[in-house]
Amino acid sequence: MLIHLIAAARPNFMKIAPLYHELEREDWAEPVIVHTGQHYDLNMSGAFFEDLRLPAPHLHLGIGSGTHAEQTGKVMIAYEKALMDQRPDLVIVVGDVNSTMAATLAASKISYSLRNEKQAIHSRKGHGPLVAHLEAGLRSFDRSMPEEINRLVTDGLADILWTPSSDADENLIREGILQDKIVRVGNIMMDSLEMLRERIQKEAVYKEYNLKSGEYGLVTLHRPANVDSPKTLKSICQKLRSIAERLPLVFPIHPRTRKSLGKNRLMSFLHDCTGLQLLKPLNYIRFMNLVFNCCLAITDSGGIQEETTYLGIPCLTMRPNTERPITIQQGTNQLCTVESIESRVDEILLGRFNRGSGIELWDGQTAKRVVRSISDIFNCP
Ligand code: UD1
């Protein structure tokens, strides 16, 4: 069974890696990694393949940066050709980036010409691949986020919806998606974390920055709503400087954020602050070592809300909403604004935060459940 795993941007690599390794163990499966090229810098892409022990992508579409329509269109055009060439039986898309939606659109619309019977048997629809979405059902209910549009389109089209938690199942049912298509498998990000836990814990990256375990905050910001507006970005930078006066902060800077800081002459404003260290984006293992040892995270990332919840580390999410409400209800996550961030940090430093409890099926076994789901659907041996 030829299975395409679509990867595009930094958070996708941690989602395909455990699944790739699990599929590799099965005689019936031939997993093929398709990298769309949405992220292309070494430290946004290649370094992750190395850490996660992934082979070089079998197919690289090389689409690069662009506007939303450009990225989506380029992936569709390039991936349609790959689909016709390779005729996979199953296309697995992960997360919510532009490439996730674009690959889903291309795969859902393609119709292989039925030249022989084998092909018809092979492909369950009889004319194209099935599309499966891993991390289905997440909703922020905020359509100003490009990711929300990507989630809605992807889930509306996918044939199989693998969800991380019960709230995701409920969202899909509410949207009229048939229960038969939904399989709750848990959170695949925890599989990557568990797969590499020993290597993560062996590192002492924080020491390279003269930080002490449990005595610094980790910052990551890249959402357009936070970093594209000069006014908002400036206010955030002022707050970070102020927080860094009482808590050392380390801030690996995403390319989008670096561009915006540069354009708005805010880079030197941050550099001038001794408690705040600015870093390049880090590979997975080094970055996770900083997560494991921080006393709190300030972020707008989706994955970090989940990882901190799993590890019991307080997380302040600088957003008005989250598609991962379970990390607030059952985890260590809180939403905050530019205005409230400082007082929230102070509360956490006083030990006032929700400790959270474990979330069902966030256990490092999600890839196994996905493989079982595939073998059930396709009647694999
Ligand atoms: C994308 C995803 C977002 C995800 C994030 C993780 C969409 C809509 N957004 O946002 O959901 O959380 O990835 O990082 O798909 N750039 C580089 N080098 C790279 C990659 C990007 O310099 O390797 C630059 C691009 O030129 C662009 C900017 O960073 O100017 C943003 O990249 P893009 O892929 O468009 O979106 P992200 O903000 O990374």
pLDDT per residue over 76-93, tens digit each?
999 999 999 999 999 999
- Please tell me the distance from the alpha carbon of residue 4 to that of residue 106, in angstroms, as a whole number: 13
Q: How confident is the model at residue 381 (pLDDT cuts 50, 70, 90)?
A: confident
Give residue-wise pLDDT tens across range 146-167. Answer: 999 999 999 999 999 999 999 9
- DSSP, collapsed to helix, strand or coil, labels residue 167 as helix
Pocket test for ligand 1, best of 13, 61, 97 (most atoms within 8 A of CB): 97
- Please tell me the distance from the alpha carbon of residue 193 to that of residue 288, in angstroms, as a whole number: 8
Q: Is a pLDDT exceeding 60 seen at residue 331? A: yes
State in Å: Cα 221 to ligand 1 middle: 12
State in Å: Cα 18 to ligand 1 middle: 23
Q: What is the pLDDT of residue 280?
A: 97
Q: Is a pLDDT exceeding 50 seen at residue 121? A: no
Q: Is a pLDDT exceeding 70 seen at residue 123? A: no
State in Å: Cα 315 to ligand 1 middle: 22
DSSP assigned state of 3: E
Atom of ligand 1 at shortest range from CA of 95: 11
In this prediction, residues 274-278 reach a mean pLDDT of 96
Distances (CA, A) of 236 to 222, 265, 277, 294, 347: 12, 14, 15, 20, 19
State in Å: Cα 123 to ligand 1 middle: 34
Give residue-wise pLDDT tens across range 171-201. Answer: 999 999 999 999 999 999 999 999 999 999 9
Q: Which entry of 35, 222, 254, 271 is annotated as an active-site residue?
A: 222
Q: What is the pLDDT of residue 120?
A: 46
- Please tell me the distance from the alpha carbon of residue 55 to that of residue 44, in angstroms, as a whole number: 16
State in Å: Cα 259 to ligand 1 middle: 11
Place of tokens 């997560």: 291
Pocket test for ligand 1, best of 43, 65, 284 (most atoms within 8 A of CB): 65
Write the residue with the smallest CA distance to atom 7 of ligand 1: 97
Q: Is 361 left (phi over 0), alpha (psi -120 to 50) or beta?
A: left
Q: How many CA atoms are closer than 13 Å to the CA of 169, on its beta-carbon side? A: 11
Q: Is a pLDDT exceeding 70 seen at residue 117? A: no
Write the residue with the smallest CA distance to atom 21 of ligand 1: 39
Q: How confident is the model at residue 126 (pLDDT cuts 50, 70, 90)?
A: low
Q: Where are the beta strands (DSSP E) in 82-200?
A: 90-94, 130-134, 160-163, 182-184
What type of residue is 310?
Answer: Y
Q: Report whether 285 contacts 51 (CB < 8 A).
A: yes
Q: How confident is the model at residue 114 (pLDDT cuts 50, 70, 90)?
A: low
Q: Is the dihedral of CA 310, 313, 314, 315 positive or negative?
A: negative
Pocket test for ligand 1, best of 39, 70, 263 (most atoms within 8 A of CB): 39
- DSSP, collapsed to helix, strand or coil, labels residue 249 as strand
Q: Report whether 80 contacts 106 (CB < 8 A).
A: yes
In this prediction, residues 274-287 reach a mean pLDDT of 97
- Please tell me the distance from the alpha carbon of residue 295 to that of residue 213, in angstroms, as a whole number: 8
- Ligand 1, pocket residues at CB < 6 Å: 9-11, 38-41, 44, 65, 96-98, 146-147, 222, 254-256, 259
Atom of ligand 1 at shortest range from CA of 223: 38
- DSSP, collapsed to helix, strand or coil, labels residue 44 as helix
Atom of ligand 1 at shortest range from CA of 9: 13
Tokens of 237: 């930078």
Write the residue with the smallest CA distance to atom 2 of ligand 1: 97
Tokens of 165: 């938690």
Q: What is the pLDDT of residue 111?
A: 84
Q: Report whether 233 contacts 261 (CB < 8 A).
A: yes
In this prediction, residues 96-121 reach a mean pLDDT of 80
Write the residue with the smallest CA distance to atom 19 of ligand 1: 39
Q: Is a pLDDT exceeding 50 seen at residue 269? A: yes
Among candidates 164, 112, 157, which has minimal Cα distance to 137?
Answer: 164
State in Å: Cα 9 to ligand 1 middle: 7
| pLDDT, mean over the chain | 95
222 tagged catalytic: yes
Q: Report whether 183 contacts 161 (CB < 8 A).
A: yes
**Burial grade of 197 (CB within 10 A; 0-12, 13-18, 19 or more):** middle
What's this model's pTM, rounded to 2 decimal places? Answer: 0.95
Share of the chain above pLDDT 70, in %: 96
